[in-house]
A and B are shown apart, each in its own frame.
Chain A
Amino acid sequence: MIAMDKILTVCPYCGCGCGLYLHVDRGRLVGVSPSKSHPVNRGSLCVKGWNAHEFVIHPDRLLSPMIKDKGEFRECTWDIALDYVAHRLMEIRDRHGPDSIGILSSAKCTNEENYLMMKFARAVVGTNNIDHCARLCHSSTVGGLAAAFGSGAMTNSISEIRDAKVLFVIGSNTTEQHPMIGMHMLDAVDRGAILIVADPRRPQIAEFAHIHLRHKPGTDVALLMGIMHIIVNEGLVDIDFVRRRTENFDTFERILRDFHPHAVERITGVGIEEIRRVARIYAMEKRSMLFYAMGITQHITGVDNVRACANLVMLTGHIGLPSSGINPLRGQNNVQGACDMGALPNVYSGYQTVTNPRARRKFERAWKRKLPLKPGLTVVEMTEAAYEGRLKALYIMGENPLLSDPDLNHVNEAMKRLDLLIVQDIFPNETMQYAHVVLPACSFAEKDGTFTNTERRVQLLRKAIEPLGNSRPDWEIITELSRRMGYDMKYRGTYEIMEEIALLTPSYGGMLHHRLREVHGLQWPCPDVAHPGTPFLHRKKIAKGLGTFITVEFKPPAELPDDEYPFILTTGRIYFHYHTGTMCRRTSVLEREEPECYVEINPDDAEVLHIKDKSQVRVSSRRGSITVFARVTDRTPQGVVFIPFHYSEAAANLLTNAALDPTVKIPEYKVCAVKVEPLIKEDRRPRSIKIVDLEDLRIT
């Protein structure tokens, strides 16, 4: 065994996809260091990356399959667990039909595993009920951008950021949530770029902004339409581009007339002058990049928000060039890949729709199975179906809906009603309490495969250590299960799965493992083995032919503050933690930094409510209530409070509203109405004071 080995792999946290080395001392994981030649992180890492080695060997790791017996989990062999799962799944399929089974794939797993999971759902189980957490973060992007351009991903590369002249960041806390992208933005600002940030809160990135628009939560459509109204009025439209590369502009322009700056000012709370300045700066510079994240997507108008962004980009012709484009920042390390692989209810890998007979025939021929016709259920719809008893079994790989989904009390009830819940994960999580079977999977350090980062870079994940205990890589579990259900998937390694992906997925045509090994990955589309990858999209031509202006309308959030619930609650992540905390809360330094949930509240509001900094408060909505510590800060504007959603002991999602975007069904995590009350401290003075005479205490 090698005394000190360093293995290049990909960070398991956010969508930046930083390259890092895992340090292995005689088979034990001992450290992490950044890759200095990697185009994204260039020798840097954020605190999560620097500590990515620790959670892997945490004592909580699930190391053996378990079956629930009389309310308690009992360890068993893989054979017993897999036979049980296969038998039960087939039983439920035969009795209630394949659509009574739902599958949640995972943005934390590799492309190969997501592809297999989607193949398992469609070819083995026979249902399109497959989805994953992208539904909760960027389904609006996939839906919105695909309709406008034919491709729902970052159009530029991260390394192009430093050459941009204008950066327009809307609804993204970049330096904390995509720190390495934040680094490139800061670099651009140092080199003279103008930074415009639109965010109701004041994230760290806003400290460097030349203009910070603090619009009211949920008014993004109005703000963006207002900007476009001015661009059209002042003749700043790139008419040539609109004519040659886009369609449907006239219809859109008519709608745009409704968004008069005065009306926009009233809706958003942002002054006309500010909006005008942004419109001019953004439109007049050619190398303008637009970035957005959850602040845009997690609304009932999520798709409209994305469409508005797309329209803005087309209107000004800021697309199809280096350092010029529209850039959704994907949250999970492989959420881009999980979407690309078709872990979605309506598409196969490469976004080939299940309703398209030609695509379906292609996959039917390759997989030698008849495939279901009807698009399946989304994450939140599966919960609903389970609640109503239509969904009998749920197979969850690497997700934790009992903390990440909105309106948790409802999800709780839904999970209880399932006949079969299979949880496949590396750690015990909140969802596991209702599981019938638990399958222990391997962490990122123990398996091979590929991750696709937010700039479409497909990178090789390399195995650094052997699987812990009895855990197995997810792809092996899926193939084993599939074999037991009568469909033998034969793969000798993940590279063989990738070969099949390349064969069936045009944009991944040239993504073979041996090619990815030589460089720090390749960016899709990469249609053949000689193709060098694509740093920026829509060059010379919009992917789907012409870019389409899609009309949007302003709709207020589903739940607005009223007398009883006077605050807008917006939720999100914080720098030291990540999603449901499965990994970071088992990392000592990260957990020590932010061990408790808190609510950010503006000093003016705090004063009115008599809330002191660090005191305990109760935050309640129509759906639930939690107790957290107050953090009084002007980062959050008046009338708005912010709670991170990482903490199961004070889950922000007990409060959130499960109102969905009508098209892609993304829940509105960013706006719901809450009330905040100081916790009345119990009188801590002792009830009766016994006076002890000092003389009595004296030892004689």
Chain B
Amino acid sequence: MTKEWILPKGHLSYWLRQLRNTASLIAPLRVDGDIVFKSLENIHEVSLDNPALLPSPKEFLFPQQESLFWVEDGTKVRQLYNNEKRFVFGVRSCDISALRLLDRFYLEGYEDPYYSLRRKNTVFISIVCNNPDPTCFCIGLGTGPYLEKGFDIQLTDLGDRYFVQAGNTKAIRIIRQWKFLFNKPKRVDYEDQYEVFLSSKARFQKRISLENVREYILAGKVKDSFWGSVTERCFECGGCVYECPLCTCFTVTDRVYSFGIDRVRLWDTCLFKGFTRMAGGILPNEKKILRTKRWYYHKLIHYPDVLGGFGCVGCGRCTVTCPGKIDMATIAIKLRDLQDND
């Protein structure tokens, strides 16, 4: 179910102000040379036309560090839930696609109560990308630059106005609360939106087919010597996993204070040998090559087999963060070149 409206640009700040009255509003802001997501204090500071390097909004559903429960007197357990209602404004389409995979991991089968509550309390307002980075490659994966479905609220910048799409009943209700700000779209608006889609697609510098890479790997053509050369360059920083909008690795630790125990969940990565440490200190993945290889296998082979889609949405963040330049795009291109020479 999708409903559409037109929001004149002049109405945007008023609308955001109204949203902020009902929940906390998080948006991309320009600070100290970078763009970061943070609580919006001055509506006019929101940075809309972000050319590059927008961080992933994963932290708002699956925080880097989160207290799960608190134990007092050795017996009294108090679960800690974050019940804060949030609007996250200015997210990219690829990240919305990533949320769908995060949802499947955290909500299917066993439903993670912490994730679930945050998910219910958060509304994402995404913007169709009209300014992709050189590192972006969502276009080859169908995860961007715009979405047909799966979003909460999607805005398309048509110059003097936004084309607004609400993708679920909750989103429709939110728009209807301030109905007087929105107009009904005309035929020309649909045409203009399509025009934006076309021009956006034309701006991508990278086109990568992960499907080909997957087939090439499954055909057994990629030798361990290749993975060896990749592994050599791994700095074991974990950046690819931390930055990835759909990586889900976490670890759990207890902080024992004199007045109670705090059980904390923290981001972790499968690229570390200790991640799979077993009793007696046995490390099944002690060799670095096993771990590097597994990261790619997980995203390229395992995800499609189990969840029906690649474990990569083409956001290009690992390309930016990887100190050894062995990110998804680079490896996919290398494998494509190998394939061409076969």
Contact = CB atoms under 8 A, between A and B. Distances in A.
A44 B237 contact: yes
Interface stretch (A25-33, A372-380, A557-565): A25-33
A593 B236 CA distance: 11
A627 interface: no
Contact of A44 (B36, B38, B55, B239): B239
Contact of B321 (A34, A186, A187, A190): A34
Instruction: Please tell me the size bucket of the interface on A.
Output: 35 or more
Interface string B52-83: 11010001100111100000000000000000
A179 B323 contact: yes
Interface in A1-46: 2-6, 8, 21, 23, 25, 29-38, 42-46
A8 B272 contact: no
Given A5-B38, A23-B59, A588-B253, A35 B32 contact: yes
A513 interface: no
A50 interface: yes
A183 B266 contact: no
Contacts of B63: 25, 30-31
Contact of B242 (A38, A50, A54): A50
Interface string A185-208: 011001000000000000010011
A249 interface: no
Nearest to A519: B33
Given A43-B53, A589-B268, A54 B34 contact: no
B169 to A, nearest CB: 26
Contact of B64 (A23, A42, A47, A57): A23
A4 B235 contact: no
Contacts of A103: none
B237 A179 contact: yes
A592 interface: yes
Contact of A4 (B33, B37, B266, B272): B37
A54 B53 contact: no
B256 A59 contact: yes
B327 to A, nearest CB: 11
B176 interface: no
A50 B323 contact: no
A8 B235 contact: no
A53 interface: yes
Given A31-B59, A175-B235, A183 B323 contact: yes
Given A3-B39, A35-B33, A44 B232 contact: no
Contact of B320 (A5, A36, A58): A36
A32 B238 CA distance: 13
A93 B192 CA distance: 82
Given A45-B239, A47-B237, A179-B323, A53 B64 contact: yes
Nearest to B41: A2
B320 A4 contact: no
A47 B241 CA distance: 11
Given A8-B31, A44-B239, A54 B266 contact: yes
A5 B29 CA distance: 11
A290 interface: no
Contacts of A34: 239, 321
Interface string B76-95: 00000000101000000000
Contacts of A566: none
A572 interface: no
Interface in B294-342: 320-325
B232 A186 contact: no
Contacts of B256: 59
Contacts of A57: 255
B59 A3 contact: no
A45 B317 CA distance: 13
B236 A3 contact: no
A50 B266 contact: no
B262 to A, nearest CB: 8
B277 interface: yes
A282 B26 CA distance: 53
B287 interface: no
B82 to A, nearest CB: 9
A44 B277 contact: no
Given A3-B24, A58-B255, A190-B325, A46 B266 contact: no
B192 to A, nearest CB: 32
Contacts of B120: none
B273 interface: yes
Interface in B13-47: 24, 26, 31-34, 36-39, 41
B11 interface: no
Interface in A90-143: none
A333 B285 CA distance: 32
B232 A4 contact: no
B257 interface: yes
Contacts of B281: 596
A46 B235 contact: yes
B233 A588 contact: no
Contact of A59 (B39, B257, B266, B268): B257
B238 A30 contact: no
Contact of A43 (B38, B233, B273, B321): B321
Contacts of B322: 44
A227 interface: no
Nearest to A42: B320
A179 B323 CA distance: 8
A76 to B, nearest CB: 17
B272 to A, nearest CB: 6
Contacts of A36: 34, 52-53, 320
Interface in A165-187: 175, 179-180, 182-183, 186-187
A575 interface: yes
A589 B41 CA distance: 34
B205 interface: no
B64 A593 contact: no
B274 interface: yes
A520 interface: yes
Contacts of B320: 36, 42-44
B64 A30 contact: yes
B65 A593 contact: no
Contacts of A59: 255-258
B31 A592 contact: no
Contacts of B232: 204, 207-208
Nearest to A183: B323
Contacts of B199: none
A617 B321 CA distance: 40
Contacts of A37: 32-34
A33 B65 CA distance: 12
A3 B27 CA distance: 12
Contact of B31 (A6, A45, A53, A588): A6
B251 interface: yes
B255 A593 contact: no
8 contacts: A3-B26, A31-B65, A44-B322, A46-B235, A46-B237, A50-B238, A183-B323, A593-B272
Given A4-B39, A6-B37, A53-B64, 8 more contacts: A2-B39, A2-B41, A8-B31, A31-B267, A179-B323, A180-B323, A186-B233, A588-B253
Shortest 4 CB-CB distances between A and B: which pairs?
Answer: A31-B64, A37-B33, A183-B323, A588-B253
